[in-house]
Structure 1
Amino acid sequence: MFKTESRNPATYESEKITPTVSEKTVQSQHFSSPIARIESVSPADLTAAVQDDLACYASISEKCNIGATMKIPISGGWVFASILSIRTREAGQALELAMTFVGAIQDGVFARGVDTFPAVHAPVYLASDEDQRHLYQQSGHDCIRIGTVYPSPDVPAMLNIEKLLSRHFSVLGSTGSGKSCTLALMIHKLVESCPQAHVLILDPHNEYAKSFETMGEHFNTENLSLPYWLMNFEEHIEIFVGRELTDRDSDIDILKRCLFSARKASAAEHSLSRLTVDTPIPYKLTDLLRALEEEIGRLEKAENTQPYLRLKAKIEELRSDRRFAFMFSGLLVQDSLHDLVSRLLRFPVEGRPVSTLDLSGIPSEIVDVVVSLISRLVFDFSMWSRKAGASTPLLLVCEEAHRYVPHHSSGDKRLQSARKSLERIAKEGRKYGVSLGLVSQRPSDLSEAILSQCGTVISMRMNNERDRKFVENTMPEGASHFLRLLPSLQNQECLVSGEGSACPLRVRLDYLDIPYQPASNDLDFASLWRHDLPDTHNTIHQTLRAWRRGIR
């Protein structure tokens, strides 16, 4: 599946770098002399002057490049730094390296950040592959490899599973930068390491069914029924009343009374002593319509019937429109919650730990409500299962996340049930074992509150300056220096920062074989336009047939 050079991260666990401040001892390792000497030091970065002329520097420039890792001796160990820029000094041919701190190894133990700074004139050495393995290692079986640390092809880039999932993560980048393949690679590696995982991917473009065909279940409007009665009151409002709430207070008040009446009619079957409009028990749409008609019958003036008639018309529209049949068909009155949770969240796993939910066939009017319902289902199930003493961690991945958790606008007073459900997972999911993965091509359009909850940020190439600035504001542990590299990243490269990695990394991602890649490739205009379709009449017929059936 993966074209990688396998390494066992556990083999690095017992290895230690012998700390020393002796320059003579240091010089015996890897190089006979330092590459540069420190000229200035600040709390976040440092500069160094290359010791020799350009000809000497050219001999090591293949490895000593932008992003290369350097090491400087300190009392009791080493400080590591990454090269941000290389320039020629105005006074002559000597080169100046601008670097940012990565971390330190003291007494053989790596720590993020630096508390002992190198002295001015301290020697600077190019870190060897062995040094970098100590620096970037994530030891043990609770880690997954996603690639190699730039620029070395031999130093594995590892992510800690526990820290990656318990603190949430995001995959960000411009269109075509490789976000879908990166996510697929990560999920495949997670499942390979943890075959009894429970992963649900909300897939708005039906990209991931192909990637997880052999190890997942694919759901769409044809094979999955979502019960309308599982919606909470806010989701009912969004569907029956609308997201724009101006002058709709009467509609909401009527819906609340009638919905409670409809749920109450079914409460006796479930032996519930306490009932609210949010209680997830089945009720009949006919009971809801009957409650509306009874309310209309109590009115004294005909002009007051408008809100009731609007609600009644909307309910009848949803019942009759076949596009909404996956949610509002007559069969959904049955209590199917057990079956829904079992199938969608993979209980039992049975060798297929990944569920992909195709949202492309869901009408745009209710897709936000569906995302809200599913997100809330994941969170509520995890919360109550933990209280019942049988909790199992779940991973919910939200592709095109900016559609459902948009950047907050102070003047926007519309209902945003999906945003609330996902924000709740971002803020409280860790307590109940719910991990959130956000994927977005427009991070500046994404809620800053929810993005800042992502402990690990995986950034692909990002050309838009506004997006880069936004990501910089949410970057964990002050890794914003690395954002300078975003425009120059190639496909199959990313920057990783945050809890999931030992320290900020530039990673060359492992190759994912074609059968396991998402179906996210764009059409090839030049190739397809050189040949006409073999059977245009049948192609148009099949296209129109699928179009009219609402299948995409």
Structure 2
Amino acid sequence: MNNSPTLLGNISAVSSSSAVVELADSVESGIVILEGRNYRIGQVGSFVKILLGYNNLYGVIAGSSESSQLDDQDGIHLDRRWIKIELIGEIVAGEFERGISEYPSIGNEVHIVVDSDLKKIFGKDIDGHFNVGTLSSSDGISVSLDLDKLVTRHSAIFGSTGSGKSTSTASILRSMVTAAEKINMPSARILLIDIHGEYQSALGDIANVFSVLPEAENKLYVPYWCISPTHLMEFLCGTLSDSQKAIFLDKTVSEKINSITANNFDGVNPDRVTSSTPLPYSIKKIWHELCFLDNVNWMDKDQTVPAYATNGLGDCESLIAPKFQPPAPGNTPPFKGGAGLMKRQLDLMKSRLADTQYSFMLEPGEWSPNKNGVIEKDLDALVEGWLGHEKPITILDLSGMPSSRLSLLLGTILDVLFEVSIWGRELQAGMRKRPLLLVLEEAHRYLSKSETGLAKEMVQRIAKEGRKFGVGAMLVSQRPSEIDETILSQCGTIISLRINNTTDRGIVKSAMSEGLSGIVDTLPILRTGEAIIVGEAAKLPTRCRFNLLPDDKYPNSKDPCVADSWKKPKEVENYKELINSWRSQTNNQG
């Protein structure tokens, strides 16, 4: 009889990827002390090893059960206890490898994995891995992730509200590019889409922050002439007929061709320009010309002389439409011209162009074309501002963005970056030479199954094709069940914090290729800042506690202290400042 203190029991059944272990009679439930540390027997998520002579197989406990039966000879009840383990890897010649080359046999001994064993698996520093935290079951064992696979094979971070999702995301990103609080990845490219403006406080020292808010030090501009014309028309004009769309697109192409000469763009063939070619043009000029076509009356039957009213030329920059003399009865001038069929759409377009909340897109600073399409700065300066600065992380703060237009704005940003990655993949500044990780916060808001916007379209492309061009995605969400399955299926690594909702847990379970249902069932009881990590970037399916952030580097997402604030004596409050902040759209500190 084996009296080893690490013995758990023996294999009693084996299936394709799992085995059942009957616990030995000598194993007491509770705690055993080994190598000076306490180990809990049969804890879901803890590791075990199976002795196979020269090889040791390793597994993770996925569940346990117990039954009793009556012994006919002695007339007493015998308790039988089992644990189910998922087989995950083996050590061959001292090196741990995922997967197994041979199955265990009935009767093989199963032992507790102690720290000395864990160090063989987790303790070796591997080039290209970065430390994210420690094993939940052993604070002395570091957990690392494969940076290459995390970025190129995509990943997802899930967790219910209050599970520490934002803090964990900040911790992972900080661990990715720093060591001992010093940047050790100076050429990293991480672009974080911050929907609620909460990451500047956590990552501001290693990131450049661009914001759509008016008072921002670095204003985020997304020039409208980079936006897909079809989506831009939808945003500016609402519903258009096919003939109206054709007029809009024809004018757009014409203005883009003119801008080649106006801006001295070398190497651009006018014959190959389409409505989607990223060339500047004046959208106000197009509005003015559409107003002309829709309302014009003529002084001659050949329609060569417009019948302008007094001071009726209008002004495209000031959004003043041209005005015309009314048509005369009979066969006398002015003659009827425009049919006025686009009045509603052009009024909406003018309203959009005049709305200051969209100025970051429709009045994009030095990227705003004049009426001839001439710009002060080109797209190279825009992309260099986002990706070419000296810090490893870029934060795009979209917290002031109207929710109804979030998909259009984000989709355009992703479109610009992905097109650059495709056409510049062999260049030194391209993404294959210096890969890009896109971190998409609140992913369920624009990647839901019912969403049809540009952002979802672009993320689907990146999920399917990004690896070839050096672009990876990391989704961050509290509702994985709402995210499009096509996108979710492309995430090679899943990092799941506490999840209470049954539907969301089911989505996470189906996304975990290891089939570790017992571990997934522990998601509701994970501690804050603790996660189950499975997939290609992890050495093993692991329950991990993430590295703590410095005290002054936490995201601005902490819950309000209701009890403390409500107990304070009532003070005089200035509600005028409250309304002024809303009107001016500034986050005043009070």
State if a TM-score over 0.5 links the two structures.
yes
**Within-5 A mapping of 1:35-434:** 35-52=8-25, 55=28, 58-59=31-32, 62-64=39-41, 65-91=43-69, 92-137=78-123, 139-192=125-178, 193-221=184-212, 222=214, 223-242=219-238, 248-269=241-262, 270-271=265-266, 272-273=268-269, 274-296=272-294, 305-306=340-341, 308-329=342-363, 331=365, 332-333=368-369, 334=375, 335-345=377-387, 347-349=388-390, 352-391=391-430, 392-407=434-449, 409=450, 415-434=452-471
Root-mean-square deviation (CA), in Å? 2.5
Distance 1:57 1:122 in 2: 23
Determine if contact 1:200/1:355 at 8 Å carries over to the other structure. Answer: yes
Distance 2:5 2:583 in 1: 74
Q: Deviations over 1:166-202 (max 9, x none)?
A: 1111101111111111110111011114132121111
2:310 alignment partner in structure 1: none
**Within-5 A mapping of 1:513-528:** 513-528=550-565
Amino acid corresponding to residue 228 of structure 2 in structure 1? N
1:15 alignment partner in structure 2: none
- Residue 365 of structure 1 aligns to a residue whose secondary structure is helix
Amino acid corresponding to residue 351 of structure 2 in structure 1? E
Q: Which moved more, 1:58-67 or 1:231-240?
A: 58-67
Q: Report the Cα offset of residue 254 of structure 1.
A: 3.6
Is 1:505 matched up with 2:542? yes
Amino acid corresponding to residue 276 of structure 1 in structure 2? T
Q: Which moved more, 1:226-235 or 1:277-286?
A: 226-235
Distance 1:106 1:43 in 2: 21
Q: Report the Cα offset of residue 216 of structure 1.
A: 1.2
Q: Report the Cα offset of residue 51 of structure 1.
A: 1.3
Distance 1:533 1:373 in 2: 47
Q: Deviations over 1:43-84 (max 9, x none)?
A: 122111221256476546843322221111125301111122
2:320 alignment partner in structure 1: none
Distance 1:56 1:371 in 2: 53
CA distance 1:250–1:84, shift in 2 (3 Å): same
Larger Cα-atom Rg: 2
CA distance 1:216–1:56, shift in 2 (3 Å): closer
- Residue 194 of structure 1 aligns to a residue whose secondary structure is coil
Distance 1:279 1:33 in 2: 67
Distance 1:387 1:118 in 2: 48
Q: Deviations over 1:399-437 (max 9, x none)?
A: 001112112x4xx7xx41111111111111111111111
For structure 1, which runs of at least 5 residues remain unmatched after alignment? 1-22
Q: Deviations over 1:323-350 (max 9, x none)?
A: 11222227411244222212212x132x
Q: Report the Cα offset of residue 475 of structure 1.
A: 2.0
Distance 2:13 2:378 in 1: 67
Distance 1:522 1:116 in 2: 50
Amino acid corresponding to residue 71 of structure 1 in structure 2? K
Amino acid corresponding to residue 310 of structure 1 in structure 2? R
Percent identical among aligned pairs is: 30
1:468 alignment partner in structure 2: 505
Is 1:545 matched up with 2:531? no
Q: Report the Cα offset of residue 511 of structure 1.
A: 1.4
Distance 1:548 1:536 in 2: 18
- Residue 425 of structure 1 aligns to a residue whose secondary structure is helix
Q: Report the Cα offset of residue 449 of structure 1.
A: 0.7
1:485 alignment partner in structure 2: 522
Q: Which moved more, 1:72-81 or 1:476-485?
A: 476-485
Distance 1:137 1:291 in 2: 68
Determine if contact 1:232/1:280 at 8 Å carries over to the other structure. Answer: no
- Residue 81 of structure 1 aligns to a residue whose secondary structure is strand
* TM-score, normalising length: structure 2: 0.81
CA distance 1:160–1:138, shift in 2 (3 Å): farther
* TM-score, normalising length: structure 1: 0.86
Determine if contact 1:147/1:158 at 8 Å carries over to the other structure. Answer: yes
- Residue 281 of structure 1 aligns to a residue whose secondary structure is coil
For structure 2, which runs of at least 5 residues remain unmatched after alignment? 70-77, 179-183, 298-334, 370-374
Amino acid corresponding to residue 201 of structure 2 in structure 1? K
CA distance 1:190–1:32, shift in 2 (3 Å): closer
1:451 alignment partner in structure 2: 488
Q: Which moved more, 1:88-97 or 1:390-399?
A: 88-97
Distance 1:161 1:256 in 2: 43
Indicate the structure with greater helix content. Answer: 1
Determine if contact 1:138/1:158 at 8 Å carries over to the other structure. Answer: no
Distance 1:301 1:110 in 2: 83
